[in-house]
Amino acid sequence: MIAGGTVVVVAATVLTSSSDQRHLADGSRPASAVFDGTPLEGARVTGRLGGVIDTYGGYVVDALRTNSEFYEAADVALTAQWEARAASIAAQDERDAAPGPAPTASPSPPADDAPAAEPDVETTDEPAVLAQEPEPEADQEPPVTVLVVSDLHCNVGMATVIGSLARLSEADVVLDAGDTTMNGTTVEQYCVTTFARAVPAGVPLVVSPGNHDSEETTAMYARAGATILDGHVVEVEGMRVLGDDDPNATRVGAGGTASRGESAADMGERLADEACQARDVDLLLIHTPAVGDAALDSGCVPAQISGHFHRRSDPKQVGLGVRYLSASTAGATLGEATLGPLNGTAELTVLRWDPTSRMFLDYQVVSVHTDASVEVTARLPWPVVELPSPTEPDGAELPPGVAAGALTPSPR
């Protein structure tokens, strides 16, 4: 995708700059074969750069075609695997809902000349009282489907896969756990815009910027339609989400990683305070996992989703909440580029959140491999938090929103 953008930009520049060279006869150079099969097929490149494009442009166009073919194949595989898994889940649900074994048949009625059996219970003149059916439960709201991506690092090839999975899963919300760009440069506007446009219309996109993102690229993401977390609670589809940008900034070739002005510990305490004051936070979305330690320990945040490490860690209890770490949706691998076909397995996660209990129900991991094959797991249960006794050994009361035996949401 990036390669394709480069071809178009370079070619358009050459064509434009050459159009004013009136001393060159129109059509003095034949159409460049480099652009065959692309939107610029038939274009004539004049001037001294024409030869350069003819010589080296083919490498770029070949890279573009390879890239497109890879992600098109991955998209086809995703659709097939998701539909197969969905059919398996539907079949299991149908089996679970099926009635139990049929009751044993009643004995045949006695013959006409046989006396009827006496009832085993005494008869009474009082009217019979029928056993009451249990009251049906009130209609519950359907689960909210959440699609999580992280550490995209400008791999715009995955945009098609993200959009397809959002539609296949009927996602209500898309969460981006940060590091959407490679270096937070203004030229990476194409990256954040491409990802924002991949999300189906009407589906909220909520972002916690990472250490490779910047104020500039984050502002571009916001202009493209993303909701950027800034330390305050936002509500999407009934879910209350808290988060912020990463406390650190990493700039390749410009001194590495440095603090943005607030330490990770200070940000963590600030977010924990915000969550406890709000008393209704359902999820902490923050790029670097450790920033959420204080909030999880406080008991004011039941769940946290993060990225940063480019490897998945299945949901597990941390403090008084559950933390899930998403792997890289770009297939980011140490020492390998994230542009072009995948150099490592890319992962996306589909979760279901129950608006009644205000807890996550389950999650599915979608893996795209380096051969463009796709794997979709079954729905895996979200773990239940094990809570301490109502008082700690020192007699301190549990934090607001926590009850012994079960993690219950604070009153709203």
**Are 312 and 347 spatial neighbours (Cβ–Cβ below 8 Å)?**
yes
* Tokens coding 403: 């009850």
**Where are the chain's structural domains?**
1-19+29-90, 144-407
**For 285, what's the count of Cα atoms within 13 Å in the CB-facing half-sphere?**
32
Q: What is the pLDDT of residues 222-255, one digit of tens each?
A: 999 999 999 999 999 999 999 999 999 998 776 7
Q: What is the pTM of this model?
A: 0.76
What contacts 410, CB < 8 A, 6 or more positions away? 279, 280, 300, 400, 401
Q: What is the pLDDT of residues 179-225, one digit of tens each?
A: 999 999 998 999 999 999 999 999 999 999 999 999 999 999 999 99
**Are 374 and 367 spatial neighbours (Cβ–Cβ below 8 Å)?**
yes
C-alpha distances out from residue 359 to 175, 211, 300, Å: 16, 29, 13
Q: Answer yes or no: is pLDDT of 120 > 50.
A: no
Q: Which pLDDT score, from 0 to 100, does residue 361 have?
A: 98
C-alpha distances out from residue 320 to 50, 359, 362, 401, Å: 64, 13, 18, 10
Protein fold of 144-407: Purple Acid Phosphatase; chain A, domain 2 (3.60.21)
Amino acid at 249: A
- Mean pLDDT is lowest, of 251-260, 317-326, 338-347, for 251-260
* Pairwise CA distance, residues 133 & 275, whole Å: 43
For residue 76, the tally of other CB atoms under 10 A from its CB is 13
The whole-number average pLDDT for the span 255-274 is 94
